[in-house]
A = this chain, B = another copy of it.
């Protein structure tokens, strides 16, 4: 079995654990058509009811944002609403294959992106809600494209860059071509689970982040919060891995319980724009100041999509010495870069609460979780990051020392 096929099988059998008789939807860029077809065949192999492949095209998306009439950004065509919302409601397994040029939307008017994000938030609300609450199995994974590879490895020729990025991705998703990817993932998921259980046993009241960049941030955690990692499960018990690769252990912060200052450890690529050297100040959870050497307006726009976009929604822990971090590659893609470093996100919180998947939006809010149509990760983990956890009875437990787990 070659690596490509092993990867496709991994995504279908571990990423989505496609069940016999289940509808499968694959979203893929046209450049990734060959790989999308491999995934499709693997899905039929395990008895998918039907496989729908929906192709996107960077060139079409870019022209749309640059050249279409202004009015189109405030609405989502009804067919796209049904495409996303209906399969979500049906519980279809959704594979999102990424291969995008990170710079594809560079130069697009930020206002168009903002209005587009708002329209999607409103018109695809059901899809986002069902995705966030794991109502259907979903998995995001990536394959290299020429434009992306050249951004990551600008000094290599196009074909060398694509090969190099492909190898790097296979390494992160534990695909060797030996056919052992599925068993490697079972071991990896078990290791993440063990550490997650340790964190859950402490039931921390808060975490205190500090490093030499200047980060000094206290994050209170809601009562009943749970740390999660790797695998999720639908209400029917179908397990899946929402991100491949994944190295993180994450939970939701208390919306109004974050105070201090936090510095980004890596650039953030958002809608084709690179935001560099930024930090933010938070008071009672709200991001009250944002400063960036580059891309400040993009960042501020992203936080202005709705009320919840200026509050945090995720706290994620990843050792500084982790497989992706050790590659020392800036992927310009959150799927990888977020797994190279401890991160936070502003916007929507995952329902990381006991019984959270069954709670309504109102109940989640009542428990102190943030809601938003936005969810943007940004990296904060450095080699010298320390995190001290404080338990409800006042004990201080080192969670991170020198960038790595201390427990």
Contact = CB atoms under 8 A, between A and B. Distances in A.
A36 B68 CA distance: 16
Contacts of A37: 57, 59-60, 63
B44 A67 contact: yes
A63 B83 CA distance: 20
A205 interface: no
Contacts of A60: 37, 40, 51, 53
Nearest to A50: B68
A51 B79 CA distance: 15
A188 interface: no
A70 B135 CA distance: 26
A68 B36 CA distance: 16
Contact of A72 (B36, B50, B68, B71): B50
A80 interface: yes
A55 interface: yes
B33 A49 contact: no
Copies of this polypeptide in the complex: 2
B80 A63 contact: no
Interface in A25-41: 30, 33, 36-37, 40-41
Interface in A62-80: 63-64, 67-69, 71-72, 77-80
Interface of A, secondary structure class, is: helix
Contacts of A283: none
A50 B74 CA distance: 13
A41 to B, nearest CB: 7
A52 B80 CA distance: 11
A250 B66 CA distance: 42
A273 to B, nearest CB: 23
A229 to B, nearest CB: 34
Contacts of A33: 30, 57
Given A21-B69, A79-B82, A86-B79, A57 B63 contact: no
B51 A63 contact: yes
Nearest to A21: B69
A84 B77 CA distance: 12
A78 B52 CA distance: 13
Nearest to A26: B60
Contact of A80 (B41, B57, B67, B79): B79
A48 B67 CA distance: 9
A53 B57 CA distance: 8
Nearest to A59: B37
A41 B67 CA distance: 9
Interface string A81-92: 011001000000
A53 B68 CA distance: 13
Contacts of A77: 52, 82, 86
A109 B169 CA distance: 40
Contacts of A53: 57, 60
A86 B81 CA distance: 13
Given A40-B59, A79-B83, A82-B82, 9 more contacts: A33-B57, A49-B72, A50-B68, A50-B72, A51-B63, A53-B57, A55-B55, A77-B86, A78-B82
12 contacts: A30-B33, A37-B57, A40-B63, A44-B67, A44-B68, A51-B60, A55-B57, A77-B82, A78-B86, A79-B80, A79-B83, A79-B86
